[in-house]
Structure 1
Amino acid sequence: MTTNPADTATVRSLKVPGARLHYEVRGKGPLIVLVGAPMDAAAFAPLARLLATDHTVLTTDPRGINRSKLDDPDQDSTPRLRADDLSRLIAHVDAGPAFVLGSSGGAVSALALAQTRPDQVHTLVAHEPPLIELLKDREQLRTGTEDLIVTYLAGDVTGAWKKFFAQADITMPEPVIEQMFGGERDPQQVADERRWFAHEMRSSTYWQPDPAALRAATTRIVVGIGDDSAGQLCDRTSRALAQSLGTEPTTFPGGHTGFVETPDTFATRLRTVIREG
């Protein structure tokens, strides 16, 4: 049996200020960067393999998550730091400027990168960034965010997740939450989750983009929303971002993690966006 080169990732690490970043490269061709926060490289692997048939695809574990280790484990993960990490990775692989798909907190990281280094990003798809500061009910959302973080750090994991899904306007039955987040769990998953609650959630959701800088940047910015995300918090934040940029959002298959749920159809839609650019 012949191995498809797109199925094989070159796995390496890069030392950056305060951390060592795990990253993976697949394929050959124009550079695509797939980034989440707190999602790691593994979540993007199925989509990366599909795109690597004719692109160089870079994925990474964000600083402090899974295989990307921090010098100081108590350091907060800010969009500015994560944008600098992405900038260093793009320069390191020396295949840019890049097409970047950032999802959730990764979209916040990528927007921060577009503000500071637009020369490295020719197109950015910001898929459902949770930018609550763009919304009129931001104060209520901040209060809710602080409450669910306190709940988690006090040890009530399932209680925190129930509050999280309620604030995100995502319907998730309580028995499902109990099954997903109660009982015995993978230690690495728990460590990454705790880091997200303690050191990442605030800085990602409270970050405020500079719409004027983003409009003036050479980067083409596409705001993405999942077809199944209507009415959810990230649907609202994404539409607010698009409005601030004077654009219309672009829909993608699935929901908040459509690239995980249906990578085939997501890749097809993403290729259409690439061609349109």
Structure 2
Amino acid sequence: MTDLHYDVRGSGPVLLVVPGGAGHPMGFDPMTDVLADRFTVVTYDPLGLAHGRLGEPVGDQRVEEWSDGARRVLDEVLAEGDSAYVLGTSSGGIAVLDLLARHPERLHHVVAHEPPCVGVLPDGARQQAMFQEVYDTYRAAGLQAAAARLGAGLTGQEPEEQERRPVGQPLSRDQELAKPMALFLAHVLRQFSSYRPELASLTAASARLTLAAGSDSRGQLLHRTAEFLAERTGSRFVEFPGGHVGVAEHPVAFAERLAKTLVPVGD
């Protein structure tokens, strides 16, 4: 059983935060600083990248492993019989959907922000092929070329034929292990975007679930995915400030929207 890596700050009801990418909570401090006035904020670091493990070997990741780790964190920080509020962003959003489907009794309210589980969409196979192309670009031409292809795919911009020939150099193994974004492209993106959430279980827990997307993401792939999941499960859909990385773009406004979504005024 792997070690758990997480940080705790603040006081109040427990709010578990599961970051996206490869799980490194970089850029989350300004948001969690605001939330710590109202919640005991527990920020989970699935791979321990912010806890001394950046640079160590990483294998292909599984949604269920992140979900199990998050459940074990809750077991450590929650009193018996208590439940937690949860935020998951991007790949972390997929992990918290799995957590809710399997352990709804431990969760009071879950916000999944732009989870890239695109397989649920009518054109899901095409979108998963796009993520495969991002991975292939990363392996052939490195981080910058793959990030450009990913950005185009998320915004719905299909590259011209000449732009499909990526330019750049692949990273060495040591370089990859030192970069959280590279670890995400190598070991998380395909595995998590191919995950199919348990729609029946999420529907049964829909009163505890909010799907979220950035207002700047309107018309883009992950905004559409979040809206579709909300409709399919009967869950609430809420727009948050910014785009896919609204946590970093507008941390204070994002925190305020999250708090009001988790604990509506009057509750």
Q: 2:195 aligns with which of 196, 199, 207?
A: 207
For 2:30, the aligned partner's letter is P
Name the SS of the counterpart of 2:51 in structure 1: coil
Structure 1 distance, partners of 2:145, 2:154, is 14
Alignment partner, residue 253 of structure 1: 241
Unpaired segments ≥5 residues, structure 1: 1-16, 172-180
For 2:10, the aligned partner's letter is G
Structure 1 distance, partners of 2:207, 2:74, is 15
Identity value in percent: 33
Alignment partner, residue 161 of structure 2: none
CA contact under 8 A between 1:20 and 1:63: conserved in structure 2?
A: no
Q: How does 1:1-277 map to 2 (within 5 A)?
A: 17=1, 19-38=2-21, 39-63=23-47, 65-67=49-51, 69=53, 73-95=57-79, 96-169=82-155, 190-217=178-205, 220-276=208-264
Q: How many aligned positions are there?
A: 248
Give a deviation string over 1:205-261, Cα, whole Å, max 9, x none: 111111111122386000111111101111111111111112341111111111211
Structure 1 distance, partners of 2:134, 2:68, is 29
* 1:201 shift after superposition: 0.8
1:192–1:21 Cα change, 3 Å = farther
* 1:68 shift after superposition: 6.7
Structure 2 distance, partners of 1:248, 1:124, is 11
Structure 2 distance, partners of 1:69, 1:190, is 10
**Higher RCO, Cα 8 Å, sep 6+:** 2
1:250–1:218 Cα change, 3 Å = closer
Give a deviation string over 1:103-150, Cα, whole Å, max 9, x none: 111110000100111111110001111111011222222222112201
Unpaired segments ≥5 residues, structure 2: 158-167, 170-174
For 2:225, the aligned partner's letter is T
Name the SS of the counterpart of 1:58 in structure 2: strand
TM-score by length of 1: 0.81
Name the SS of the counterpart of 1:250 in structure 2: strand
TM-score by length of 2: 0.84
